[in-house]
């Protein structure tokens, strides 16, 4: 086998290994549904702090699921909700309901890079990452984690031209994700406070940093449960309006 073929063969193996790692991560986190209460602390570039709370509900398997995020506090945002319908072969569909305006709006693809209601999550960050929507390259190991480069396929529109993912080797969970646009780091998500809940290793806190805005959001989760009894009719625009 020629040197060129050996290099190509090795690169293909590394790409396959990277995808297998992420398939294993997705498999170990599999559940039919999920619910938690989230507390968010947002710190802007001038160290001004605001706090919010939401309830998160998800039904379905990774990449083919439905999610409702609903703010419960403070009063000025209570009832604001986001419906996300994830698809395994394309970007998600998203709608936001604003009770004060009594209207919902579909989140356009060109708006997915904008912040979600005063947090440092973009709308795209709230989607589920389905393994098959990305191309991967295993870059090596750092501090007990695999470092993997991820690039969205053409069928997956994204604000990020590429991302770096760190996956803990012992627990197969993300420890950090960095999103880049044209070589510039624009967002970093760091995971922590891992606990095994119903045999699933789960980060109970994460921090999102918006590097351009120099702001950050810390999310801490409480009362997290998997495989809770949720009904499909909870995940509709009609349900968003009724629950406000």
What confidence score (pLDDT) does residue 244 get?
60
Asked if the model's pLDDT at residue 1 lies above 60, the reply is no
Closest CA to 148 of 158, 137, 156, 157: 137
Q: Residue 57: which of 33, 39, 92, 32 has the closest Cα?
A: 33
The predicted-structure confidence for 10-32, as pLDDT tens digits, reads as follows 444 445 699 999 999 999 999 99
Contacts of 227 (CB under 8 A, 6+ apart): 31, 32, 33, 198
Residues 159-207 have pLDDT tens digits of 999 999 999 999 999 999 999 999 999 999 999 999 999 999 999 999 9
pTM score: 0.89
- Write down the architecture of domain 3-242 according to CATH: Clam (2.50)
Q: pLDDT at position 242, please?
A: 77
Question: What are 114-165's pLDDT values in tens digits?
Answer: 999 889 999 999 988 788 889 999 999 999 999 999 999 988 889 999 999 9
Distance CA 96, CA 76 (A): 16
For residue 90, the model assigns a pLDDT of 81
- Please list, in sequence order, all residues whose beta carbon lies within 8 angstroms of the beta carbon of residue 173, skipping any fewer than 6 positions away: 25, 28, 29, 167, 191, 194, 201, 202, 203
Model pLDDT, residue 87: 87
> In angstroms, how far apart are the furthest CA atoms of the chain?
68
Domain ranges of the chain: 3-242
Using alpha carbons only, give the angle 113, 119, 123 rounded to the nearest 5 degrees. 30
Each residue of 25-65: pLDDT tens digit? 999 999 999 999 999 999 999 999 999 999 999 999 877 89
């Amino acid at each position: 086998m020629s040197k060129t073929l050996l290099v190509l063969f090795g690169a293909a193996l590394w790409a396959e290994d990277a995808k297998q790692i992420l398939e294993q991560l997705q498999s170990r986190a599999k559940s039919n549904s999920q619910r938690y209460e989230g507390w968010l602390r947002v710190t802007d570039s001038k160290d001004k702090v605001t706090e919010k709370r939401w309830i998160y509900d998800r039904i379905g398997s990774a990449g083919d699921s439905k999610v409702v995020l609903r703010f419960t506090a403070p009063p000025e945002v209570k009832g604001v909700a986001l419906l996300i319908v994830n698809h395994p072969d394309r970007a998600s569909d998203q709608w936001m309901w604003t009770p004060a305006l009594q209207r919902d709006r579909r989140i356009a693809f060109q708006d997915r890079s904008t912040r979600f209601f005063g947090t440092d999550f973009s709308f795209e960050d709230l989607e589920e990452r389905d393994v098959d929507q990305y191309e991967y390259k295993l870059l090596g190991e750092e501090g007990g984690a695999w470092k993997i480069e991820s690039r969205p396929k053409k069928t997956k529109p994204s604000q990020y031209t590429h991302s770096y993912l760190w996956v803990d080797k012992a627990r197969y969970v993300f420890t950090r994700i960095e999103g880049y646009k044209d070589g510039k780091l624009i967002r970093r998500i760091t995971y922590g406070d891992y606990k095994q809940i119903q045999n699933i290793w789960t980060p109970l806190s994460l921090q999102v940093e918006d590097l351009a805005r120099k702001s950050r959001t810390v999310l801490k989760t409480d009362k997290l449960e998997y495989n809770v009894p949720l009904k499909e009719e909870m995940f509709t625009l009609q349900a968003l309006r009724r629950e406000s």
